[in-house]
Amino acid sequence: MADEAKAKGNAAFSAGRFDEAARHFSDAIALAPGNHVLYSNRSAALASLHRYSDALADAQKTIELKPDWAKGYSRLGAAHLGLGDAASAVAAYEKGLALDPSNEGLKAGLEDAKKAAAAPPRRGPSGPDAIGQMFQGPELWSKIAADPTTRAYLDQPDFMQMLREVQRNPSSLNMYLSDPRMMQVLSLMLNIKIQRPEASEPSQSTPPPPQQQQQTPPPETKAREVEPEPEPEPMDLTEEKERKERKAAAQKEKEAGNAAYKKKDFETAIQHYTKALELDDEDISYLTNRAAVYIEMGKYDECIKDCDKAVERGRELRADFKMISRALTRKGTALVKLAKTSKDFDIAIETFQKALTEHRNPDTLKKLNEAEKAKKELEQQEYYDPKLADEEREKGNEFFKQQKYPEAIKHYTEALRRNPKDPRVYSNRAACYTKLGAMPEGLKDAEKCLELDPTFTKGYTRKGAIQFFMKEYDKAMETYQAGLKHDPNNQELLDGVRRCIEQINKANRGEISQDELQERQNKAMQDPEIQNILTDPIMRQVLTDFQENPRAAQEHLKNPGVMQKIQKLVSAGIVQMR
């Protein structure tokens, strides 16, 4: 799926649809966040949109993921150059050439960066070049996108090609002034209304009729002809003032909505946020705030619609990635609330992942983890079937009798998927693991068995046997004794206690090899309880008295707590009683 999104991004980039390309690359990154090529491609798309700060962040991520890839430094250099930091651009290109000395792209980039770094500060251009330079700034795109009369031009490939040509060569502007779209954009950038001749106005090259040539216009007409066109600034200033007033009014509505939200007056909050949207459609926070209210009201479908609008409008306005992430996070929250089956969580999880690609924050990450956990739990509930679990357990028992332990484990595992609360299955699978020598896995299953049913005697025999095989005789004896509290006459448990005592006494009598003793002691030293005993100042004094002052040691043994700890050390092979 990541490759599919990447291919769409490449196609959009080749067609000059850089905003669309960036979105496709973001989708691909959500699916494969460790792929350095995707960040590199998105960096190129963002640089083409003159979003150099974002392009720089993606270039740095590319290098972080793949520091030995030369193209990453090419992206880094282009972003620095776009931001006007020629010195950093030179350094980036040089690092790339150190990795790939024959790369022509890096060479060309380095040459451009050095020229930019060496160029003296230029005086402002004049004439046509001065007007053409107005098309160089990053505000060009935001102004075109924000103005209703020019917004549609961004979707017209021929117009986009003209703009890019003017950006590359400002003096070429004169070539395109015959296009009314370019005149409209120029009017927008100059903040004036440029008068264009009507289609019905006669050409200047067409001679006037004879009678008109002979007529002498009245003085008033002459005055009007030489009178300069009224300056449009007052009208523009009025419009700008109205725009600022609308934005200020929208902010007041938003604040009123926030206050109503805090008071849990959700209907009023909705009214205020809606009014704010009517006053100003260039701030997607009104949509995301209204979406949050819809979540509180349980209107999850309305929340999702607002979030989708916020993302779409945010892309058009090139809004902050954090705002896009917020909209996606709230959409994911609504999708989780609507989820009825485990599959319903898939789209919510995907939405949270997209939000994290826009902006990584702890709240979204927490919601993603919770959604994944809820999906897993629901999958288990949907799969739950005690009858099928019993059938799988019986199949496992048959394979166990045939000594086909791996096959038995397979069926026991399936039985636990169908019914994870059956202690018998954990006990049986623990026996299989023991036969295969997988002691840690067997111990884990035995402990789970006893967790589910502390009175299940077989669980104690399984756990004690595994601990005995692991030569943890003191722990095995404790397990067997715990089982005898529930079934005092159980012969397996009684035999287990007897075997443990025999092994412990052997160690005390010195009847085991030095290697075996060392192995037991090493294992014991990994036990946190043993570590606590040995680091206890009182117990350290007791052990010293056993060696240097036997009479004081005998007094210590009258303390039941001390006696219990000494017995623990003896059972573990740390202390030997001669």
Does 12 share its domain with 69? yes
Instruction: Tell whether 341 and 279 lie within a shared domain.
Output: yes
| Cβ-based neighbour number of residue 117 at 10 Å | 14
Identify whether 4 is part of a domain. Answer: yes
Q: Identify whether 340 is part of a domain.
A: yes
pLDDT the model gives residue 381: 86
Final residue before a domain boundary, out of 511, 535, 563:
511
pLDDT of 225 > 70? The answer is no
Q: Identify the CATH number of the domain in which residue 556 sits.
A: 1.10.260.100
Please state the domain count of the chain: 4
524, 574 in Cβ contact below 8 A?
A: yes
- The model's confidence at residue 191, banded by pLDDT at 50, 70 and 90, is low
pLDDT of residue 576: 63
> Do 284 and 376 share a domain, yes or no?
yes
127 found inside a domain: no
Looking at the fold, whether 15 and 84 belong to one and the same domain comes out as yes
- If one compares 218 and 355, the residue with the highest pLDDT of the two is 355
Domain that holds residue 67: 1-118
Does 493 share its domain with 552?
no
Predicted confidence (pLDDT) at residue 108 exceeds the cutoff of 70: yes
Is 316 in the same domain as 334?
A: yes
Confidence of residue 519 (pLDDT cuts 50, 70, 90): confident
pLDDT > 60? residue 558: yes
- Angle at which helix 457-469 crosses helix 439-452, to 10 degrees, equals 160
Question: Distance (Å, rounded) from C-alpha 300 to C-alpha 543?
Answer: 68
How high is the mean pLDDT of the chain? 82
Dihedral (CA of 545, 547, 550, 553) sign: positive
319 and 439 share a domain?
Answer: no
Q: Is residue 364 part of a domain?
A: yes
* Contact status, residue 494 vs residue 442, Cβ threshold 8 Å: no
With respect to residue 198, please indicate whether it lies within any of the assigned structural domains.
no
Residue (of 32, 82, 40) closest to 61 by Cα position: 40
Residue 204: the pLDDT is 38
Q: How far apart are CA 470 and CA 476, in angstroms?
A: 9
Does residue 302 carry a pLDDT above 60? Answer: yes
Contact 371, 345 (CB under 8 A): yes
Decide if pLDDT at 308 tops 90: yes
Please identify, among 487, 511, 535, the residue that sits at the C-terminal boundary of a domain: 511
Residue-wise pLDDT tens digits, 111-156 = 888 888 887 654 444 444 555 566 666 567 667 776 778 878 877 8
On whether residue 400 sits in a domain, the answer given is: no
Residues 460, 344: one domain?
no
- Pair (349, 419) in one structural domain: no
**CATH number of domain containing 440:** 1.25.40.10
Most confident of the ranges 68-72, 186-190, 220-224: 68-72
**In this structure, are 375 and 448 located in the same domain?**
no
Q: Is residue 326 a part of any domain in this protein?
A: yes
Pick the last residue of a domain from 97, 118, 139. Answer: 118
Q: Identify the top-confidence range among 1-15, 170-184, 316-330.
A: 316-330
Compute the average pLDDT of residues 244-263: 92
Least confident range from 90-94, 131-135, 290-294, 332-336: namely 131-135
- pLDDT (tens digit, 9 = 90+) per residue, 442-478? 999 999 999 999 999 999 999 999 999 988 888 899 9
Written as one letter, the residue type at 424 is R
Same domain, 371 and 248: yes
Contacts 24+ apart (CB under 8 A), 225-234: 229/195, 232/192, 232/193, 233/191, 233/192
What's the mean pLDDT in 481-488? Answer: 94
DSSP assignments along 230-275, one per residue: PPSHHHHHHHHHHHHHHHHHHHHHHHHHHHHHHTT-HHHHHHHHHH
Domain co-membership, 12 together with 112: yes
Is 396 contained in some domain?
no
Position 63 pLDDT exceeds 60 = yes
- CA-CA distances (angstroms) from residue 259 to 246, 254, 270, 272, 310? 20, 9, 11, 10, 22
Mean pLDDT calculated for residue range 37-64:
90
The tokens describing 120, both together, are: 């003296």
Tokens encoding 46: 């963002």
